[in-house]
Structure 1
Amino acid sequence: MAAPSHRRSLRSRRVLVITAAAVAAGVGAGVVVLNANAGTVDLYHQTLAAKDGWASSGAGTTGGAKADAAHTFTVSTRAELVKALGSATDTAPRIIKVKGTIDANTNDAGKKVTCADYAAGTGYSLSSYLKAYDPAVYGRSKLPSGAQEKARAAAQTKQAKNIVFRVPANTSVVGVPGTAAGISGGMLQIQNVDNVIVRNLSFAATEDCFPQWDPTDGEDGNWNSAYDSVTLRGATHVWADHNSFTDAPHLDSANRKYYGREYQIHDGALDITKSSDLVTVSRNRFTDHDKTMLIGSSDSEPAGRLRVSLHHNVWKGIVQRAPLTRVGQVHIYNNYYDVTTLDGYATQYSINSRAKAQVVAEDNYWKVPVGGKVARLLSGDGTGSVKGSGNLVNGTVTDVVAAYNAAASKKLKTTVNWTPTLTSGLETSAKNLPTTLATTTGAGVLK
Structure 2
Amino acid sequence: MAVVGCTALALTVTGTTAQAHPSRDLARQTLPANDGWASHGAGTTGGAAADADHVYTVRTWAEFRQALADGGDAPKIIKVKGMIDAVSEGCDAFAAKGYDFQQYLADYDPAVWGHDTPVSGEQEELRDASADNQAKAITANIPSNTTIVGVGKNAGILGGSLQIKGVDNVILRNLTIEAPIDCFPQWDPTDDTKTGAWNSDYDTVVVRGSTHVWIDHNTLTDGRYPDSSLPSYFGKIYQQHDGLVDIVRGANYVTVSWNSFEDHDKTMLIGGGDSHGADDRGKLKVTLHHNRFEGIVERAPRVRYGQVDAYNNHFAVTKDQKYAYTFGIGIESRLYATHNAFSLPPGVSAAQTLKRWNDAPLTAENNYVNGRLTDLIAVHNAEIPGETLQRGAGWTPTLRTKVHPPKAIPAIVGHHAGAGRLR
* Alignment TM-score, normalising by the size of structure 2: 0.91
Q: Is the 8 A contact 1:242 1:441 kept in 2?
A: yes
- Residue deviations 1:275-313, cap 9 Å, x none? 211110000001111111111110122211111110000
**Aligned partners of 2:96 and 2:129 also within 8 Å:** no
User: What does 1:3-402 correspond to in 2, within 5 Å?
Assistant: 14-15=20-21, 33-34=22-23, 41-86=24-69, 90-106=72-88, 113-121=89-97, 123-178=98-153, 180-219=154-193, 220-302=195-277, 303-341=281-319, 345-402=321-378
Distance 1:86 1:264 in 2: 32
Distance apart, 1:410 and its partner CA: 2.0
Instruction: Give secondary structure in 1 for the equivalent of 2:192.
Output: coil
Please state how far the C-alpha of 1:140 moved relative to its aligned partner: 2.1
Alignment correspondent of 1:425: 402
Query: How many percent of aligned residue pairs carry the same amino acid?
Result: 48
Q: After superposition, give the CA deviation of every residue in 1:75-127 in whole Å (9 maximum; x if it has no partner).
A: 0111110111016x921111000011001113xxxxxx111121142x22211
Q: Does 1:410 align with 2:387?
A: yes
Deviations 1:320-354 (A, max 9, x none): 1111111111111000011123xx63221111111
Other structure's SS at 2:407 match: coil
Task: Please list every run of 5 or more consecutive structure 1 residues that lacks an aligned counterpart in the other structure.
Answer: 1-9, 16-32, 35-40, 107-112
- What is the deviation of 1:368? 1.2
Instruction: Assess if the C-alpha contact under 8 Å between 1:289 and 1:345 holds in 2.
Output: no
CA separation in 2, counterparts of 1:234 and 1:142? 33
CA distance in 2: counterparts of 1:363 and 1:82, whole angstroms: 39
Q: CA deviation at 1:205?
A: 4.5
TM-score normalised by structure 1 residue count: 0.87
Partner of 2:4: none
Residues 211, 263 of structure 1: 8 Å contact kept: yes
1:163-183 CA-to-partner distances (Å, cap 9, x unmatched) read: 1111111100000124x0000
- CA contact under 8 A between 1:288 and 1:345: conserved in structure 2? no
Alignment check: 8 A CA contact 2:178 2:221 kept: yes
* In 1: Cα distance, 2:247 partner to 2:402 partner: 23
CA distance in 2, matches of 1:322, 1:151: 35
Amino acid aligned to 2:356: G
Q: Distance in 2 between matches of 1:53 and 1:125?
A: 48
Matched residues, number: 402
Change in Cα spacing, 1:120 to 1:150, as seen in structure 2 (3 Å) is closer
Give the whole-Å Cα distance in 2 for the aligned partners of 1:405 and 1:309.
26
In the aligned structure 2, how far is the partner of 1:176 from the partner of 1:369?
36
Return 5+ residue gaps in structure 2 as ranges: 1-15
Contact 2:179 2:244 in 1 (8 A): no
Counterpart CA distance in 1 for 2:28 and 2:87 is 29
Contact 1:382 1:413 in 2 (8 A): no
Deviation at 1:241, TM superposition (A): 0.1
What is the RMSD of the two structures over their aligned residues, measured on CA atoms? Answer: 1.7
**Alignment partners' CA distance in 1, 2:302 and 2:213:** 18
Counterpart-to-counterpart distance in 2, 1:262 and 1:242 = 31
Match of 1:38 in 2: none
> Aligned in 2, Cα 1:225/1:400: closer, same or farther, shift over 3 Å?
same
SS in 2 for 1:287: strand
Task: Indicate if the aligned counterparts of 2:179 and 2:203 stay in contact, CA closer than 8 A.
Answer: no
2:143, 2:167 within 8 Å by CA — same for their partners in 1?
Answer: yes
Q: Distance in 2 between matches of 1:354 and 1:171?
A: 32
> Which structure 1 residue ranges, 4+ long, deviate > 6 Å from structure 2?
none
Mapped partners of 2:360, 2:118: distance in 1: 30
Q: Distance in 1 between matches of 2:298 and 2:357?
A: 15
Provide Cα deviations, 1:365-424, integer angstroms capped at 9, x if missing partner.
Answer: 001112321111110124133211110011111001111112221222211132211112
